[in-house]
Amino acid sequence: MTESVVHYRRLESMYQAAPFNALFQPQLIVSEAGAEIVIELNETFHHAGGAVHGSVYFKMLDDAAFFAANSIEPDYFVLTTSFTTYLTRPISSGKMVAKGRVVNKNRSQIIAEAVVYDENDKEIGRGNGIFVRSKNKLIDVKGYNHPLETKSETSKP
């Protein structure tokens, strides 16, 4: 695996290690300046009106944009400093798929955006945020250094 791919897999491991994700059981795939997150919806995500609560939209959008941003920062955990969310269509069942991508990077910040879709690829929300490098090294973050399996390890008898 290349150094970048190892970084992406470690970010995915870090995401799965976050206790909050036990509620959502998301699937994350990180790539160069991009990330995709999928969750299967159930009624525990609903507000009283029977649709998915806006906080779930925010989580999906922020997480996708965050991991797109952290994919291009190999050494430090990034932080969301601001995030704007637009809820464009309600959803109550099926899957939510959020796709994030970096749109700008300069010396002090990364700007990333995300769009969340239903399982029929209809846009249901979007957002954008500003991310900055924290003082926390990724190597010290729970889950980031989880041992990764490589093809040679998985093919051993």
H or E segment and range at residue 152: helix 151-154
Provide the residue type at 55 as one letter. S
**Per DSSP, what are the bridge partners of residue 123?**
117
* pLDDT single digits (tens) 77-120: 999 999 999 999 999 999 999 999 999 999 999 999 999 999 99
CA 122 to chain centre: 19
Cα separation, 126 vs 99, whole angstroms: 9
Cα separation, 15 vs 145, whole angstroms: 12
| β strands within the chain, DSSP E | 27-31, 34-40, 76-87, 95-105, 110-118, 123-137
pTM higher than the cut 0.85:
yes
Sign of dihedral through CA atoms 43, 25, 137, 106?
A: negative
pLDDT reading at 150 higher than 50:
no
In the three-class reduction of DSSP (H, G, I as helix; E, B as strand; rest coil), residue 120 is classed as coil
What pLDDT does 151 receive?
A: 44
H or E segment and range at residue 21: helix 21-24
Cα separation, 2 vs 136, whole angstroms: 23
Once rounded to an integer, what is the mean pLDDT over residues 123-147? 95
Domains and CATH numbers, the chain: 3-146 (3.10.129.10)
Collect all residues with Cβ–Cβ distance below 8 Å to 60 and sequence separation of at least 6.
26, 37, 39, 96, 98, 114, 116, 125
* pLDDT single digits (tens) 16-61: 999 999 999 999 999 999 999 999 999 999 999 999 999 999 999 9
